[in-house]
Amino acid sequence: MRGEAKLTRMWEAMWWGLVGGMALVIGALLGLVGTPRPRLIGLVMAFGSGVLISALAFELAAESFQAGGALALTAGLAAGSITFFLGDLAIDHHGGEHRKRSDGRQSSGTAMAIVLGSLLDGVPESAAIGVSLIGGGSVGVAVVVAVFLSNIPESMSAASGLRKAGHSTRWILSLWTGVALASALSAGLGYAFLGTSSPATIAVIQAFAAGAILTMLADTMMPEAFENGGNTTGLVATAGFTAAFLISHTT
Protein backbone atom coordinates (compact mmCIF):
# COMPACT_ATOMS: atom_id res chain seq x y z
CA MET A 1 0.00 0.00 0.00
CA ARG A 2 1.35 3.43 -0.95
CA GLY A 3 2.34 5.78 1.85
CA GLU A 4 -0.43 8.31 1.17
CA ALA A 5 -3.15 5.67 1.07
CA LYS A 6 -1.83 4.05 4.23
CA LEU A 7 -1.81 7.40 6.02
CA THR A 8 -5.40 8.02 4.96
CA ARG A 9 -6.44 4.64 6.31
CA MET A 10 -4.60 5.30 9.55
CA TRP A 11 -6.52 8.56 10.03
CA GLU A 12 -9.73 6.69 9.26
CA ALA A 13 -8.88 4.16 11.95
CA MET A 14 -8.15 6.97 14.42
CA TRP A 15 -11.47 8.61 13.60
CA TRP A 16 -13.47 5.46 14.24
CA GLY A 17 -11.44 4.80 17.37
CA LEU A 18 -12.36 8.30 18.57
CA VAL A 19 -16.02 7.65 17.79
CA GLY A 20 -15.96 4.56 19.98
CA GLY A 21 -13.93 6.34 22.65
CA MET A 22 -16.20 9.40 22.82
CA ALA A 23 -18.94 7.11 24.11
CA LEU A 24 -16.88 7.04 27.32
CA VAL A 25 -17.28 10.80 27.67
CA ILE A 26 -21.00 10.58 26.92
CA GLY A 27 -21.45 7.84 29.49
CA ALA A 28 -19.47 9.81 32.08
CA LEU A 29 -21.68 12.85 31.51
CA LEU A 30 -24.79 10.73 31.95
CA GLY A 31 -23.39 9.32 35.17
CA LEU A 32 -22.51 12.78 36.50
CA VAL A 33 -25.50 14.85 35.39
CA GLY A 34 -28.12 12.41 36.60
CA THR A 35 -28.22 9.87 39.36
CA PRO A 36 -28.70 6.63 37.42
CA ARG A 37 -29.99 3.80 39.53
CA PRO A 38 -27.71 0.79 39.91
CA ARG A 39 -30.33 -1.42 38.27
CA LEU A 40 -30.41 0.79 35.16
CA ILE A 41 -26.61 0.80 34.95
CA GLY A 42 -26.57 -2.97 35.36
CA LEU A 43 -29.06 -3.50 32.55
CA VAL A 44 -27.24 -1.14 30.20
CA MET A 45 -24.04 -3.03 31.01
CA ALA A 46 -25.80 -6.28 30.22
CA PHE A 47 -26.90 -4.96 26.83
CA GLY A 48 -23.39 -3.69 26.07
CA SER A 49 -21.89 -7.02 27.09
CA GLY A 50 -24.20 -8.88 24.75
CA VAL A 51 -23.30 -6.53 21.90
CA LEU A 52 -19.58 -7.00 22.44
CA ILE A 53 -19.80 -10.79 22.73
CA SER A 54 -21.63 -10.94 19.41
CA ALA A 55 -19.08 -8.70 17.69
CA LEU A 56 -16.20 -10.74 19.09
CA ALA A 57 -17.71 -14.01 17.92
CA PHE A 58 -18.89 -13.03 14.44
CA GLU A 59 -16.30 -10.40 13.52
CA LEU A 60 -12.94 -10.92 15.22
CA ALA A 61 -12.99 -14.61 16.15
CA ALA A 62 -14.73 -15.78 12.98
CA GLU A 63 -12.40 -13.82 10.70
CA SER A 64 -9.38 -15.03 12.66
CA PHE A 65 -10.44 -18.65 12.21
CA GLN A 66 -11.15 -18.22 8.51
CA ALA A 67 -7.79 -16.57 7.85
CA GLY A 68 -5.51 -18.53 10.17
CA GLY A 69 -7.32 -21.66 11.27
CA ALA A 70 -7.74 -23.19 14.70
CA LEU A 71 -4.13 -22.68 15.80
CA ALA A 72 -4.10 -18.93 15.12
CA LEU A 73 -7.47 -18.51 16.82
CA THR A 74 -6.53 -20.53 19.89
CA ALA A 75 -3.10 -18.94 20.29
CA GLY A 76 -4.45 -15.43 19.86
CA LEU A 77 -7.35 -15.89 22.25
CA ALA A 78 -5.08 -17.39 24.90
CA ALA A 79 -2.42 -14.68 24.51
CA GLY A 80 -4.97 -11.86 24.66
CA SER A 81 -6.73 -13.33 27.65
CA ILE A 82 -3.52 -13.95 29.60
CA THR A 83 -2.14 -10.49 28.77
CA PHE A 84 -5.27 -8.73 30.02
CA PHE A 85 -5.44 -10.99 33.07
CA LEU A 86 -1.89 -10.20 34.12
CA GLY A 87 -2.27 -6.48 33.48
CA ASP A 88 -5.55 -6.38 35.37
CA LEU A 89 -4.05 -8.38 38.23
CA ALA A 90 -1.22 -5.87 38.60
CA ILE A 91 -3.61 -2.92 38.51
CA ASP A 92 -5.96 -4.54 41.02
CA HIS A 93 -3.00 -5.09 43.34
CA HIS A 94 -2.27 -1.35 43.27
CA GLY A 95 -5.83 -0.22 43.97
CA GLY A 96 -7.71 -0.30 40.67
CA GLU A 97 -9.91 -3.30 41.37
CA HIS A 98 -13.19 -1.41 41.66
CA ARG A 99 -12.58 1.16 38.91
CA LYS A 100 -15.89 0.48 37.15
CA ARG A 101 -18.13 0.12 40.17
CA SER A 102 -21.04 2.53 40.60
CA ASP A 103 -21.12 2.39 44.41
CA GLY A 104 -18.05 4.47 45.24
CA ARG A 105 -15.65 1.66 46.09
CA GLN A 106 -13.00 3.52 44.08
CA SER A 107 -12.24 5.44 47.27
CA SER A 108 -10.11 2.49 48.37
CA GLY A 109 -7.90 2.70 45.28
CA THR A 110 -5.29 5.10 43.94
CA ALA A 111 -5.93 7.62 41.17
CA MET A 112 -3.09 6.24 39.03
CA ALA A 113 -4.42 2.67 39.27
CA ILE A 114 -7.87 3.87 38.19
CA VAL A 115 -6.39 5.73 35.22
CA LEU A 116 -4.22 2.78 34.13
CA GLY A 117 -7.10 0.37 34.61
CA SER A 118 -9.37 2.52 32.45
CA LEU A 119 -6.73 2.57 29.72
CA LEU A 120 -6.26 -1.20 29.99
CA ASP A 121 -9.99 -1.70 29.49
CA GLY A 122 -10.32 0.71 26.57
CA VAL A 123 -7.24 0.14 24.43
CA PRO A 124 -7.97 -3.45 23.24
CA GLU A 125 -11.43 -2.42 22.04
CA SER A 126 -10.06 0.48 20.01
CA ALA A 127 -7.18 -1.57 18.64
CA ALA A 128 -9.81 -4.02 17.39
CA ILE A 129 -11.34 -1.19 15.35
CA GLY A 130 -7.99 -0.47 13.73
CA VAL A 131 -7.46 -4.16 13.03
CA SER A 132 -10.84 -4.35 11.28
CA LEU A 133 -9.49 -2.01 8.56
CA ILE A 134 -6.48 -4.20 7.79
CA GLY A 135 -6.58 -5.87 4.41
CA GLY A 136 -8.18 -2.96 2.57
CA GLY A 137 -11.73 -3.55 3.74
CA SER A 138 -14.11 -1.07 5.32
CA VAL A 139 -14.32 -0.54 9.04
CA GLY A 140 -16.13 -3.27 10.96
CA VAL A 141 -19.45 -1.53 11.63
CA ALA A 142 -20.50 -4.13 14.17
CA VAL A 143 -17.21 -3.69 16.05
CA VAL A 144 -17.58 0.11 16.18
CA VAL A 145 -21.20 -0.13 17.30
CA ALA A 146 -20.30 -2.76 19.90
CA VAL A 147 -17.47 -0.65 21.32
CA PHE A 148 -19.65 2.47 21.37
CA LEU A 149 -22.61 0.81 23.07
CA SER A 150 -20.46 -1.00 25.62
CA ASN A 151 -18.40 2.09 26.48
CA ILE A 152 -21.42 4.13 27.60
CA PRO A 153 -22.40 1.91 30.55
CA GLU A 154 -18.73 1.36 31.47
CA SER A 155 -18.04 5.05 32.03
CA MET A 156 -21.55 5.76 33.33
CA SER A 157 -21.03 3.29 36.13
CA ALA A 158 -17.44 4.35 36.81
CA ALA A 159 -18.25 8.08 36.78
CA SER A 160 -21.08 7.59 39.24
CA GLY A 161 -18.80 5.60 41.53
CA LEU A 162 -15.89 8.01 41.18
CA ARG A 163 -18.10 10.91 42.19
CA LYS A 164 -19.27 9.01 45.27
CA ALA A 165 -15.62 8.28 46.03
CA GLY A 166 -14.88 12.01 46.18
CA HIS A 167 -13.32 12.75 42.80
CA SER A 168 -14.20 16.07 41.18
CA THR A 169 -16.26 16.41 38.01
CA ARG A 170 -13.26 17.93 36.21
CA TRP A 171 -11.03 15.01 37.18
CA ILE A 172 -13.59 12.45 36.07
CA LEU A 173 -14.24 14.11 32.70
CA SER A 174 -10.51 14.59 32.15
CA LEU A 175 -9.98 10.89 32.80
CA TRP A 176 -12.50 9.77 30.22
CA THR A 177 -11.49 12.38 27.68
CA GLY A 178 -7.92 11.13 27.98
CA VAL A 179 -9.01 7.53 27.54
CA ALA A 180 -11.06 8.54 24.47
CA LEU A 181 -8.00 10.19 22.90
CA ALA A 182 -5.88 7.16 23.78
CA SER A 183 -8.52 5.00 22.10
CA ALA A 184 -8.21 7.00 18.88
CA LEU A 185 -4.41 6.75 19.03
CA SER A 186 -4.43 3.00 19.67
CA ALA A 187 -6.79 2.44 16.73
CA GLY A 188 -4.52 4.45 14.44
CA LEU A 189 -1.33 2.82 15.66
CA GLY A 190 -2.95 -0.61 15.46
CA TYR A 191 -3.51 -0.04 11.76
CA ALA A 192 -0.20 1.72 11.11
CA PHE A 193 1.98 -1.03 12.57
CA LEU A 194 -0.10 -4.00 11.49
CA GLY A 195 -1.55 -2.87 8.16
CA THR A 196 1.05 -4.73 6.10
CA SER A 197 1.11 -7.90 8.20
CA SER A 198 0.57 -11.33 6.69
CA PRO A 199 -2.91 -12.89 6.85
CA ALA A 200 -1.69 -15.38 9.46
CA THR A 201 -0.35 -12.60 11.69
CA ILE A 202 -3.55 -10.59 11.30
CA ALA A 203 -5.56 -13.66 12.30
CA VAL A 204 -3.58 -13.97 15.54
CA ILE A 205 -3.97 -10.24 16.24
CA GLN A 206 -7.73 -10.38 15.73
CA ALA A 207 -7.98 -13.31 18.12
CA PHE A 208 -5.67 -11.53 20.60
CA ALA A 209 -8.00 -8.53 20.69
CA ALA A 210 -11.02 -10.82 21.09
CA GLY A 211 -9.40 -12.69 23.98
CA ALA A 212 -8.45 -9.49 25.81
CA ILE A 213 -11.91 -7.94 25.41
CA LEU A 214 -13.73 -11.13 26.42
CA THR A 215 -11.62 -11.42 29.56
CA MET A 216 -12.34 -7.76 30.35
CA LEU A 217 -16.07 -8.38 29.98
CA ALA A 218 -16.05 -11.37 32.31
CA ASP A 219 -13.88 -9.57 34.86
CA THR A 220 -15.41 -6.09 35.01
CA MET A 221 -18.72 -5.63 33.17
CA MET A 222 -20.61 -8.88 33.63
CA PRO A 223 -20.25 -9.13 37.43
CA GLU A 224 -21.83 -5.71 38.00
CA ALA A 225 -24.46 -6.34 35.34
CA PHE A 226 -25.63 -9.48 37.12
CA GLU A 227 -25.26 -7.97 40.59
CA ASN A 228 -27.38 -4.90 39.84
CA GLY A 229 -29.50 -5.88 36.85
CA GLY A 230 -31.67 -8.45 38.52
CA ASN A 231 -33.45 -11.39 36.91
CA THR A 232 -33.78 -9.72 33.51
CA THR A 233 -30.02 -9.33 32.98
CA GLY A 234 -29.78 -12.40 30.76
CA LEU A 235 -32.70 -11.25 28.60
CA VAL A 236 -31.17 -7.82 28.07
CA ALA A 237 -27.76 -9.33 27.25
CA THR A 238 -29.44 -11.56 24.66
CA ALA A 239 -31.14 -8.50 23.15
CA GLY A 240 -27.74 -6.84 22.81
CA PHE A 241 -26.27 -9.96 21.23
CA THR A 242 -29.16 -10.12 18.74
CA ALA A 243 -28.86 -6.45 17.81
CA ALA A 244 -25.14 -6.74 17.09
CA PHE A 245 -25.62 -9.96 15.12
CA LEU A 246 -28.21 -8.30 12.87
CA ILE A 247 -25.99 -5.26 12.37
CA SER A 248 -23.06 -7.52 11.47
CA HIS A 249 -25.04 -9.48 8.90
CA THR A 250 -27.04 -6.67 7.29
CA THR A 251 -24.33 -4.02 6.74
> According to the model, what pLDDT value does residue 69 have?
93
Query: Would the pLDDT of 1 be above 60?
Result: no
pLDDT per residue as tens digits for the range 216-250: 888 878 888 888 888 899 999 999 999 888 887 77
pTM, 2 dp: 0.80
Total Cβ atoms within 10 A of residue 228: 22
| 4 class by beta-carbon count within 10 Å (0-12 exposed, 13-18 middle, 19+ buried) | exposed
Domain ranges within the chain, ordered by starting residue: 3-250
**3-class secondary-structure state, position 1:** coil
> What distance in Å separates the CA atoms of residue 168 and residue 182, rounded to the nearest whole number?
21
Query: Would the pLDDT of 67 be above 70?
Result: yes
Q: For 74-78, 130-134, 148-152, which range has the lowest pLDDT when averaged over its residues?
A: 130-134
Query: Would the pLDDT of 84 be above 80?
Result: yes
Share of the chain above pLDDT 70, in %: 84
Residue 200 phi, psi dihedral angles, 5° rounding: -65, -40
Query: Would the pLDDT of 47 be above 60?
Result: yes
Query: Would the pLDDT of 19 be above 90?
Result: no
> According to the model, what pLDDT value does residue 79 have?
93
> What distance in Å separates the CA atoms of residue 205 and residue 46, rounded to the nearest whole number?
26
